[in-house]
Chain A
Amino acid sequence: EVQLLDSGGDLVQPGGSLRLSCAASGFTFSNYAMNWVRQAPGKGLEWVSGISAGGGSTYYADSVKGRFTISRDNAKNILYLQMSSLRVEDTAIFFCAKEGPVGAFFFDSWGQGTLVTVSS
């Protein structure tokens, strides 16, 4: 059974930094692209970032480009999202999501989410 365990969410001040983690199990992690998707309180889903299976290609939403960095450790089966220069509008639940087969660009498994609150 695929399991994705998101963690690292916290209360942080504007301008601060935070690193999210997603521990994966139940599948061959190194074979699948992974993504982060967020949801602000009471709002819809917003794609944040994606990374290829091997980690060589990364993609970012315009709203986070230059501030967030996605990475993965295929030896440890962990996905990361390093967030810096955080803004109030980054407040959201962040979900990690596993893509389907190569080139599928849909998300067939999701973590439970971790809450990031940016506030002074």
Chain B
Amino acid sequence: SYVLTQPPSVSVAPGKTATITCGGSNVGRKSVHWYQQRPGQAPVLVIYYDSDRPSGIPERLSGSNSGNTATLTISRVEAGDEADYYCQVWDRSSDHVVFGGGTKLTVL
């Protein structure tokens, strides 16, 4: 089955840029979606189709996808960005939705 690999944690100072990676075999050939989950809350879609933002999501959040790595970038990080972030794809070969293991973003 298809596997997405994320770093368990990323730390960044306020105002700096956070980069969260999502690795998978030829993931660049798939559409990658990203979710933000704050403690005790349901996930929220923040990036879809690799780099599109739903309405209401700030432009500071951006996504890219190429080769074996998809990336979520958060510029000018704020305290409110502290959350868990998950990448997700549809694996057509198995008809399964696949989530990465999640990355905890800590704002120092």
Determine whether A88 belongs to the interface, using a CB cutoff of 8 Å to chain B.
no
The interface residues of chain A lying within 8 Å CB-to-CB of B37 are 45
Task: Mark interface residues in A88-120 (1 if CB within 8 Å of B CB, else 0).
Answer: 000000010000100011111011110000000
Known: A106-B33, A108-B48. A47 touches B97 (CB 8 A): yes
The interface residues of chain A lying within 8 Å CB-to-CB of B42 are 95, 110-113
A113 to B39, CA, bound (A): 13
Instruction: Give the interface residue-count category, chain B.
Output: 20 to 34
Interface of chain B: mostly helix, strand, loop or mixed: strand
In the complex the two chains form, is B31's CB within 8 Å of A47's CB?
no
User: Which chain A residue has the least Cβ–Cβ distance from B42?
Assistant: A110
B contact set with A: CB distance below 8 Å: 1, 31, 33, 35, 37, 42-45, 48-49, 54, 84, 86, 88-90, 95-102
